[in-house]
Structure 1
Amino acid sequence: MGGDFHNLRRGVKRLVLCLLGVAVALLAGEFVLRGTLREAGEYYTWWPHLQRTFSVEPGLMPGVEGVTRFQVSSLGLRADEISTEDSYRMLAVGGSTTECLFLDQDVAWPEGVEHFLNECQSDHRAWMGNAGKSGLNTRDHIVLLRRLLPYLPRIDAVVLMTGVNDMMLCLSRGETYDPDFMLDEGAEDLILGRSFQMLPLEYEHRYLAIQQTALWRLASRVKDSLIESNKTQDNAGAAIRLWREHRRTSPEVLETLPDIENGLEEYRRNIRELIRICSDHGARVIFLTQPYIWQEDFPEDLRKIIWLGGIGDYMEVKGCTYYDIGPLREGMDRYNRALLEVCVEQGVECFDLASKLPRDESVFYDDIHFNIGGSKRTSKLVGEYLLGRPPFGP
């Protein structure tokens, strides 16, 4: 009996020592990984080394077809890895029209600009990282640039395509729209998760404790690399079909633009803040006006491919009220004019891209998103603009 008790105590002691050893090993691993997992800093727009492929249904997005690749660098940007040979480094910032989710890596306009510049001249090797992310507006861009620029290697220029998501926020919120949101204490922390897929560990208190650890993140990254990266998402664009149906079956379409001056005033204020942030980091800033498909005498065949302009949670809920083409065009023109005016006021560059592109299916697959042809035209237009100015040209 005494021998059995002695053996039991010995077994328990070994188990406790084993568990303590595992705990010490995990703590040591966590300590090491916290210092090594982050290749460039604390904030990542996308998970580093994320890879996705999308198979777009034929005919769903005019001018987009086949399998497309979405690849993320170690910096958390949709881009090639940055090199010491890259003497002029640019960062593209915007929403989904910069992200170019359903366009192949080489076709997305930010990478297209990089390729265009390097093909046309050899004095300055260009690099452009893509920090575009669907749904982001100038509120998010402020948060992104405040946090991201200090951690990235030197950035010489920031190229921003802005406006449409600011307008949609104003229109969709209606009377509940708060133009002073960014002036509230704590506003920035509330929207950090929109701008970044990966935050510093101390910000991720919204997850379970184990999900805050570097070990959990390493395991997630391995899973993502070994399993998820090899999947092709063949339902790409299914949401767009649903959103088009929501607009098509709307019970009410408004033909008059509401008062958007509060939205425009916040937009002007946010643009000035973006200019200040870039200036503080020694980065040149170049704005692009937002192109769109809405044209006068809008043909019925194009109405079938649009879906933006709803009031309320129109992407999730059927039966919302929408604005007609005229108000959307008028509103976007006013946001683009506001951008141009602030850039003149502040003495910074703004390339009026919206005035250079046709408003049809040769450029867009819906209201604002570029198809392959539109993205290539944008790459060439922006590239030519940059070629005509230092350091690439006169």
Structure 2
Amino acid sequence: MIWAAYILGGGALAWILTECAARLYMKTRGRYFAWQPHARTRLEIDRDAMPQLDPITHFEVNSIGERGAEPPAPGENAYHAIAMGGSAVECYMLDQEKEWPHQVQVQLNRPEALKTLGVDRVHVGNIGRSLMACGPLCTMLEGVLRHYDSVDLIFMMVGSSDVVAWTEQGGPSEYTPKEMDAHAIFRAHPLGPFSWNPLHSAFRRLASAGYRRWKKPVEHRQRVGKSVQQNRDNRAAGKILDTMPDPSPMLEVYRENLKRLVAIARQKAKRVLIVHTPWVDRELGPDEQHHLWNFGCGVPGSGEVR
């Protein structure tokens, strides 16, 4: 059985060398992405929770981790814009062609707009991520922008997630945002920890990325938004807070992080545009109130309510 030992030993050595090579590649050439490149998801929206939305929507990511079409090729006479922020930018349950960054792209690709910009095509990539406050967005943008030569415009719709995070902590007078690690900030990154177990190895991560790039599989998700109805019920049964403590501590953190975020963006972007988050400035009727579901003191979606 000596030959069997040689085979096992050779296989183990080959695996070690392969995994070491994969980790070296990740360390020296790995990239950071807001979304998993080439990810494609088909969402079946829960009709009871979200009857206003399309029953079937799609979420598709391009080769550089943006939700949207493929970016301009090197040397192409094109205008490249990026939209970033929280859930109002992410538009997770809206179809690919109904999210507002895509609608901006449609408007900017009108002949008169292209003529004004002096380009043949406008591309707007969406790197919005739900519940990303300005602090984590700084980390995300630093990682993502390393791989752009330049960007013509960055849209920022930020701030709501900072308010949500502060509210979830009960509106403390001394506010320290919760830290987010790379696994929460990026959907794809070169950082470990890795294991010699093939399921948790660097080689598997590279192989999975290659498979998505080659086959472009579609993930199917059913009853998307079902948890929203439970959150609505929790809100309806809870106490509505009409007042909150002084938000100055949160606003000071937000102000400093926003300055830093704009400074990071200006390192690569020719223009930075801060966009107001939309809001409803009127009293809501009972039917409209019924559709509200977030947020509050504690994390209602996880059952933690104060």
TM range (shorter): 0.7 to 0.9
Of residues 155, 159, 181, the one that matches 1:191 is: 181
Q: Equivalent pairs: percent with the same residue? A: 26
Partner SS, residue 53 of structure 1: strand
TM-score of the pair, normalised by structure 1: 0.67
The answer to whether 1:303 aligns with 2:289 is: yes
1:283, CA displacement in angstroms? 3.8
Which residue pairs with 2:153 in the alignment?
A: 157
The equivalences for 1:1-394 within 5 A come to 11-12=1-2, 14-30=3-19, 33=22, 41-58=30-47, 60-61=49-50, 63-84=52-73, 85=76, 87-120=78-111, 121-122=113-114, 123-124=118-119, 125-174=121-170, 176=172, 179-181=175-177, 190-201=180-191, 204-205=192-193, 208-210=195-197, 211=199, 213-221=201-209, 229-250=217-238, 252-293=239-280, 295-317=281-303, 320=305
Structure of greater Rg: 1
Deviates more, 1:58-67 or 1:141-150: 58-67
**Helix, strand or coil: the match of 1:128?**
strand
Higher RCO (Cα < 8 Å, 6 or more apart): 2
Aligned mates of 2:127, 2:141 — CA distance in 1: 10
* Alpha-carbon distance in structure 2 between the residues aligned to 1:223 and 1:176: 46
Question: Which is helix-richer, 1 or 2?
Answer: 1
Structure with more strand by fraction: 2
Deviation at residue 296 of structure 1 after TM alignment: 2.7
**Partner of residue 368, structure 1:** none
Which residue identity lines up with residue 19 of structure 1 in the other structure? L
Report the TM-score when normalising by structure 2: 0.85
Structure 2 counterpart of 1:309, one-letter code: F
Q: Aligned-pair distance for 1:151?
A: 1.9
Shift of 1:56: 1.2
Q: 1:134 to 1:181 in 2, by over 3 A?
A: closer
Q: 1:153 to 1:246 in 2, by over 3 A?
A: farther
Distance 1:228 1:82 in 2: 17
Stretch deviating more after TM superposition (139-148 or 225-234): 225-234
Structure 1: tracts of 5 or more residues without a match? 1-10, 322-394
SS in 1 for 2:288: helix
Separation in structure 2 between the aligned mates of residue 135 and residue 48 of structure 1, nearest angstrom: 21
Q: Residue 105 of structure 1 contacts residue 111 of structure 1 at CA under 8 Å; is this kept in 2?
A: yes
Kindly report the root-mean-square deviation, in angstroms, between the aligned alpha carbons of the 2 structures: 2.9
Counterpart CA distance in 2 for 1:176 and 1:193 is 27
Asked if 2 retains the 8 angstrom alpha-carbon contact of 1:91 and 1:158, the reply is yes
**Aligned residues between the structures:** 297
Change (3 A) 1:191 1:225: same
